[in-house]
Amino acid sequence: MDDKQKIALCSAIRTARYSRKVVSLLRDMADNLYKTDSQDLTTSLEHSMDEDLLAVLKGAIQTSSEKTPMEAEARLREVIEYIRNLEEVSFVIPIHPNKEFVKRLHDWCTESIRRDILIDFTVNRLMESGVLMIYKGHYFEYSLENLLDEYFSTHNMDKIFKLEM
């Protein structure tokens, strides 16, 4: 699996939760590789995965040099290990994210942090707004409380009072 395939695979998976599901499916596939036809297994994956991810997985697993089930298993194990070892960045946010927002967040992470990374979410309804990001044990709190504290501590109070009045 080359770097391009790795980046494409990571971009197709995006979230840590989905990566665990993909890993589970790929392990099942590897375990049952000798029992059924690989074509049947690929077909079964079509019902469980997105089209983009499936296309990337097919490109990563099936190569022209594969002749035996053992080689296919080695490729599968390699993909599984790669997905398992991907770095994760966690977000605590006050709303449940939709697919589009997940993509925007993942794009931000691949542009800002590194190209192959997965994101994870925890929804905290008690948060008013903002975000808490956790990466490699570092906490970056940009919640509304903090933003307001920072805003009121750095802005001219007379100006604020005049606006409020």
Partner 1 sequence: MPALPQFDAYNVLVVLFAISSVSFLFIFGYTIYYWLYKRHHGVKKGVRTIDPRDAAVEEAIKIVDDARGKALGLLQEAHLEAKSILQDSQEVKSSTKEMFEQKMQQLAQKQMQAFDVLAQDLMGSYRTVLGKEKEESLKSFVEISDALKQQLTSEVRAFAGSMKQVTNDTESNIRSGLKTQYDQVSAEMGNLATNLKRITAEAEQGMKTSLGSQYELIQDEVGGLSGNLKKVIEEAEGTLKSGLLEQYTQLKNEVGSLAGSLRKVTEETEIKIKEDITHEYEEARGVVHNFAESLRKATLETENVLKKDVKDEYDQIKKDLQTYKEDKLHKMDGLVLGMMEEVARDVLGKTMTGKDHEELILRSLDGIKKTTNFKEL
Q: Work out how close the CB of 153 gets to partner 1 at its nearest, in angstroms, rounded to a whole number.
A: 8
Bridge partner residues of 15 (DSSP): 119
Helix, strand counts (H, E) of the chain? 8, 4
CA-CA distance, 84 to 40, in Å (whole number)? Answer: 25
114: Cβ contacts below 8 Å, ≥ 6 apart: 87
Q: Work out how close the CB of 10 gets to partner 1 at its nearest, in angstroms, rounded to a whole number.
A: 16
83: Cβ contacts below 8 Å, ≥ 6 apart: 9, 13, 19, 22, 23, 26
CA-CA distance, 61 to 72, in Å (whole number)? Answer: 7
- x-marked contacts with partner 1 along 136-155 as a string, rule CB under 8 A: x-x-x-x-xx-xxx--xx--
Piece of the chain touching partner 1 by CB under 8 A; list 4-12, 39-47, 71-79, 96-104: 96-104
The distance from CA 52 to its chain's CA centroid, rounded to whole angstroms, is 14
Work out whether 94 is an interface residue with partner 1 (CB under 8 A): yes
- x-marked contacts with partner 1 along 44-83 as a string, rule CB under 8 A: ----------------------------------------
Residues that bind partner 1 (CB under 8 A): 91, 93-95, 97, 101, 104-105, 108, 112-114, 128-131, 133, 135-136, 138, 140, 142, 144-145, 147-149, 152-153, 157, 160-161, 164-165
